Amino acid sequence: MIYLDNAATSWPKPESVYLAMDEFLRKSGGNPGRGGHSMALAASRIVDDARLLMARLINAPDKNRVIFTLNCTDSLNMGLKGLLRPGDHVITSALEHNSVVRPLKKLEKQGVKVTWLSPRSKDGFVSPEDIEKAITKQTRLVLMTHASNVSGIMQPIAEYGLVARRHGVTFMVDAAQTAGRYPLDVQAQSIDLLACSGHKGLLGPPGVGVLYVGERVDLMTMREGGTGSHSEMEEQPADLPYKFECGTPNTVGIAGLGAGLRFISREGMENILAHEQSLTARLLDGLSQITGVNVYGAKDWVNQAPIVSFTTDKSGPGEVGTILDQAFDIKVRTGLHCAPAAHKTLGTFPQGTIRLSPGYFNTIEEIDFTIQSIGKIARMGSLNSKHTVKSKK
């Protein structure tokens, strides 16, 4: 079996992630901050360790500004709805995931104005100059994805951060597809809010997300409740991370995330990125040589996250995905990838694309077999034809 859906969730996880989660449940399964006994204290240490590791990864000046959330969608909602009020103006792109689009559509109905910027056709980047031109006196936020989950095209977030900082505007980054793979520095890149998932490039399990809240931002809370600290107070504590973390956390998931972060540190993020880029470059080169295959993305792999979207002239994305799964045991994502706005920009709406997203545990041999398989499908044509494909794996 070949798994090429790491943009949805990374698989397999490092062995250390499985072991850390199992050991937590067996030996340290207390409720962090909810008691002074040894198991509760052990659970608190695991959460604190993961928070510190995440802070180091993104160069956060204070680990307590790293907030653990349900997932990246939760992080984005906390940032958007905690910051924006009727009359505010937001600048974002036409490349965003529904985790950005849908909250903003709701906020538009509540009186928030949104400007949706299209990328330049020649390279797929949203122009920093276009962002600057769109800023008004009411602009409160610039929100951009670091890399499209459809095309993989990387956006120049450091340049966006400089524009936002120059105008005193909050800058938020959706790093769902890049955290753990690409260097992120909230200080050097002028990032005020950073949202990411724990189960993709960070190699942790599902059910954990991260929101970095910078010093320049004062967010309203979306939920209130028990924090295990300040129990004498009837109002939510104002200090971080307790202001935004209430209720029992997904401690076993955070334990797994911590193990994923330690794995990245041991392997070296630059080594992980180099391997994934080599696989992406091989995919792009191989697919470009197949007649009837259309690839959507950057002009070179340097500006592309490990995500490759393509279509074929003879078969729809759903057909291609079914054949890859059933005939070749290759797992890919097809359709709109929860990002219809990005597909409209690419011209692939409403059918979408076939998305290949290699990860650190994929091999060159798997990529070559995938290219060969797609070549067979491209030559075959539609499932409705009389032709069939047989796997030679």
Would you please indicate which residues are annotated as catalytic (active-site) residues? 338
DSSP per-residue letters across 240-295: TTTTT--S---HHHHHHHHHHHHHHHHH-HHHHHHHHHHHHHHHHHHHHTSTTEEE
Number of C-beta neighbours around residue 205 at 10 A? 24
SS (H, E, C) 169-180: CEEEEECCCCCC
Number of C-beta neighbours around residue 127 at 10 A? 16
Distance of CA 125 to the CA centre of its chain: 18
Per DSSP, 217 falls in state -
Q: Which residues contact 188 (CB under 8 A, 6 or more apart)?
A: 59, 158
